[in-house]
A and B are shown apart, each in its own frame.
Chain A
Amino acid sequence: QVQLQESGPGLVKPSQTLSLTCTVSGGSISSGVYYWTWIRQPAGKGLEWIGRIYISGSTNYNPSLKSRVTISLDTSKNQFSLKLNSVTAADTAVYFCARGVGAPNQYYFDSWGRGTLVTVSS
């Protein structure tokens, strides 16, 4: 079965760019109809959908984050990535990558990573 693993710096300075990578194993990121997604969870709060990318390269982002987010795909490495710029303390959260199944903007998540904590602090 497919497995997802997040990686990246655990500490980012305010105003800088948060960069995370999700490595997919047990299956090709290029096969099937899946929506490769980033989700985050600030401490003590609920889950927040950040955005997704499809194998065609098409993306869809949460309107509240759209101006700061970029999600990209690297099929040669079976990875997809998140960049969030101009971060503040409010972006401190556990970041999850997940695989969405369903329709382009209507999907559920059948596989998730365990999450990685990113702290924004000077």
Chain B
Amino acid sequence: EIVLTQSPATLSLSPGERATLSCRASQSISYYIAWYQHKPGQAPRLLIYDASNRATGIPARFSGSGSGTDFTLTISSLEPEDFAVYYCQQRSIWAPLTFGGGTKVEIK
């Protein structure tokens, strides 16, 4: 199983600040990573797929980067609606798909 470790567990920031979230894989997964946003009581939303591609309708302030084992989700300037939990997910051909434990972005 490929383990995804997200850090930090919690990120306390103010609106307008930059958020940098990390996802590290236990083995190389090329660029096969996605990022989701999840708010309580809502359906999770796909933000980024294949490391750096924004999903349909996702604002440009969300960007993804990385390859191999280290990946980053960046929110360039936090809007009030961006405070949520973010998960990464891998789709490597070598193992069942798995998710990271999540990073909560909270208002400071």
Interface residues of A in 35-61 (CB under 8 A from B): 45-49
Contact status A47-B87, CB under 8 Å: yes
> Does B91 sit within 8 A of A, measured CB to CB?
yes
Size of the A side of the interface (Cβ < 8 Å), in residues, is: 23
> Does B34 sit within 8 A of A, measured CB to CB?
yes
Q: For residue A109, which residues in chain B have a CB less than 8 angstroms away from its CB? A: 34, 36, 44, 46, 89
> Does B96 sit within 8 A of A, measured CB to CB?
yes
Contact status A4-B43, CB under 8 Å: yes
Nearest residue (CB) in A for B6 is A46
Contact status A49-B98, CB under 8 Å: yes
Known: A113-B43, A114-B42. A107 touches B91 (CB 8 A): yes
Tell me the A residues contacting B by CB distance below 8 Å.
4, 45-49, 62-63, 96, 98, 102-103, 105-115
> Does B60 sit within 8 A of A, measured CB to CB?
no
Complexed CA–CA distance, A45 and B85 (Å):
12
Nearest residue (CB) in B for A111 is B43
What does the 1/0 interface line of B10-50 toward A look like (CB < 8 Å)?
00000000000000000000001010100001111110010
Partner of A112, one of B34, B43, B92, B100: B43
Contact status A105-B93, CB under 8 Å: yes
Tell me the B residues contacting A by CB distance below 8 Å.
32, 34, 36, 41-46, 49, 55-56, 87, 89, 91-93, 96-102
Known: A46-B101, A46-B102, A112-B43. A63 touches B96 (CB 8 A): yes
Nearest residue (CB) in B for A5 is B43
Complexed CA–CA distance, A46 and B99 (Å):
7
Nearest residue (CB) in B for A110 is B46
Contact status B87-A46, CB under 8 Å: yes
Q: For residue B89, which residues in chain A have a CB less than 8 angstroms away from its CB? A: 47, 108-109
Partner of B34, one of A96, A103, A108: A108
Q: For residue A49, which residues in chain B have a CB less than 8 angstroms away from its CB? A: 96-99
What's the least CB distance linking B78 to chain A, in Å?
Answer: 23
Given contacts A48-B99, A113-B43, 14 further A-B contacts (CB under 8 A): A46-B99, A46-B101, A47-B87, A49-B98, A62-B96, A102-B91, A103-B93, A105-B96, A106-B91, A108-B89, A109-B34, A109-B36, A109-B44, A114-B41
